[in-house]
């Protein structure tokens, strides 16, 4: 056993555990509910949706991200941030293929796939590159600046080059709290560029996301309103036992 909860364990991330989370896991195991779709156990999905609205409100996510009474937003629990990034990339891929085909019906899905390109910081977690590998699309690093953050001009530069050579930029994964040094990409610069270029912006805040609950850190999430999807891991800093990765 690698004892992640030892006070002497400094590899990987601080994996959370707590007495309430342990009880919740026992309750889950006891009920043994299969909740893979709403119909398979409506109460399970409803509880997930309500709970993710609570959590979304705790970090002050914009209204559009919440389910509310009959909103189009809402959150789901994934097993890991890696899964959330893959999910976002696949959704973005499908959306872009449909959009391009509606404009140029002569292009096949394979033609478009061959030209799609995703982007992330050179500080991004390895799971972002892996998502692109699984998704069958190219991925490029965007250089971070001397404070390890990606700024708007760096993204703009690669986008312009790639569009000029016939590629189709479709996905950008911004990181809030990078794995090597907890730097924060400049959302307020990157978001408007992605929106203008029809690029899906996913935010990977796996590690640092829980900190946005604190009013003094919430400003680091400013610009989330430009994002298409957002994810953080309560199993890192929120005392929830592994696995619990929340995605809106």
Which residues make up the interface to ligand PLP (CB under 6 A)?
Answer: 13, 80-82, 125, 127, 175, 177-179, 204, 206-207, 233, 245
Q: Which residues pair with 78 in a beta bridge?
A: 245
The answer to whether the bond into 243 is cis (omega within 30° of 0) is: yes
Q: At how many degrees (to 10) do helices 152-164 and 187-196 cross?
A: 30
CB nearer ligand PLP, residue 135 or residue 177? 177
User: Least CB distance from residue 112 to ligand PLP, whole Å?
Assistant: 28
CB nearer ligand PLP, residue 62 or residue 242? 242
User: Least CB distance from residue 246 to ligand PLP, whole Å?
Assistant: 11
Q: What are phi and psi of 34, to 5 degrees?
A: -100, 110
User: Least CB distance from residue 41 to ligand PLP, whole Å?
Assistant: 24
Question: What is the DSSP secondary structure assignment for residue 5, as one 8-state letter?
Answer: T
CB nearer ligand PLP, residue 155 or residue 247? 247
User: Least CB distance from residue 237 to ligand PLP, whole Å?
Assistant: 10
CB nearer ligand PLP, residue 96 or residue 175? 175
CA distance 174 to 220: 12
User: Least CB distance from residue 168 to ligand PLP, whole Å?
Assistant: 25
Closest Cα to residue 202, out of 176, 236, 234? 176
CB nearer ligand PLP, residue 204 or residue 228? 204
CB nearer ligand PLP, residue 81 or residue 194? 81
* Alpha-carbon dihedral sign for residues 49, 53, 58, 63: positive
Q: DSSP for 78-107?
A: ES-HHHHHHHHHHHHHHHHHHHHHHH-TTS
CA distances from 26 to 29, 30, 242 (A): 5, 6, 13
């Amino acid at each position: 056993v690698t004892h992640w909860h030892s006070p002497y364990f400094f590899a990987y991330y601080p994996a959370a555990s707590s007495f309430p989370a342990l009880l919740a896991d026992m309750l889950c195991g006891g009920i043994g509910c299969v909740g893979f779709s709403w119909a398979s156990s409506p109460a399970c999905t409803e509880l997930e949706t309500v709970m993710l609205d609570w959590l979304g409100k705790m970090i002050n996510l914009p209204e559009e991200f919440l389910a509310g009474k009959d909103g189009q937003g809402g959150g789901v629990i994934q097993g890991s941030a890696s899964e959330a990034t893959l999910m976002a990339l696949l959704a973005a891929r499908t959306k872009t293929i449909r959009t391009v085909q509606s404009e140029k019906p002569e292009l096949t899905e394979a033609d478009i796939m061959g030209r799609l390109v995703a982007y992330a910081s050179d500080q991004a977690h390895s799971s972002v590159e892996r998502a692109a590998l699984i998704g069958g699309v190219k991925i490029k690093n965007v250089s971070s600046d001397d404070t390890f953050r990606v700024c708007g001009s760096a993204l703009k530069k690669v986008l312009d080059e790639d569009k000029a050579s016939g590629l189709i930029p479709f996905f950008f994964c911004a990181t809030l709290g990078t794995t090597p040094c907890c730097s924060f990409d400049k959302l307020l610069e990157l978001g408007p560029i992605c929106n203008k270029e029809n690029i899906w912006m996913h935010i990977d805040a796996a590690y640092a996301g829980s900190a946005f609950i604190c009013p003094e850190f919430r400003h680091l999430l400013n610009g989330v309103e430009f994002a298409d999807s957002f994810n953080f891991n309560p199993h890192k800093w929120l005392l929830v036992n592994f696995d619990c990765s929340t995605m809106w």
